[in-house]
Structure 1
Amino acid sequence: MNAEVLVFGGLAAVAANLPFMTDRIAGFYSSANGRKPFYCRLLEWLLLYVVLGGIAYWLEGRTSPVHPQQWPFYVTTLCLFLVFAWPGFVWRYFWRKPGI
């Protein structure tokens, strides 16, 4: 079980950074001017959060009964996903030179 948690945590860290690593929308479509706007990155990030939440729900259901959660759980996991996305955000908006 510990290995599964570590693999899922690594998957979450990679998924949180994906929207900031490419200028393709959803990883497939190029935007009109070649640069993806921030709201597209934010929507992709939220979509990946929901997808990973679904995977986590499915994995928990395979091993034990799923525990019902209240809103503080979802706020906490969203904030953790935000912390995971920080390196990608810094790389995209602070370290890279404009126009690259």
Structure 2
Amino acid sequence: MTLDQAVWVLLFTAIVLANIPWFFANRIFIFIPLNNTKSFVVNVLEWFVYFLIMGGLAFLLEKTAMGNIAPQEWEFYVVNLFLFMIFAFPGFIYRYNLKMYLERREKLKLKNNP
């Protein structure tokens, strides 16, 4: 795998993994179904676990694409954490803003048109 391919795979995977906790409100790690919706704390913890998984994948891709892992300082990891937060923004907005708005709008439609 070339370095360009590794970067695109990493970006696509990061965007998908950052949004999974927010889109699947009744499942933990996609596979474990729940009876109720997840709380905000559970969503953040799941999101952070996906961040750690993404870091492991990044190390693996760097090792295979470049042959070695470059040493990094703490600033690198903080920037990656905030970048992962930015990637999670669409899912967060969907879960906590857009979904409630759409459900409320649907209820009003049903109430006005019996």
TM-score over 0.5 for the pair: yes
Q: Quick check: 19-28 or 42-51, which moved more?
A: 19-28
Q: How far apart, CA to CA, are the structure 2 residues paired with 1:45 and 1:67?
A: 25
Unaligned 5+ residue runs, structure 2? 104-114
Deviation at 1:55? Answer: 0.8
User: Is it true that 1:88 corresponds to 2:91 in the alignment?
Assistant: yes
- Cα RMSD between the aligned structures? 1.4
Out of 65, 79, 82, which is 1:79 matched to? Answer: 82
Unaligned 5+ residue runs, structure 1? none
Deviation at 1:37? Answer: 0.8
Task: Identify the structure with the greater helix proportion.
Answer: 2
Rg (Cα) greater in structure: 2
Out of 21, 33, 40, which is 2:42 matched to? Answer: 40
Out of 64, 67, 75, which is 2:67 matched to? Answer: 64
Maintained 8 Å contact 2:62/2:69: yes
Deviation at 1:39? Answer: 0.9
Q: What letter corresponds to residue 63 of structure 2 in structure 1?
A: G
Matches within 5 A, 1:3-14: 3-14=5-16
Percent of pairs identical after alignment?
37
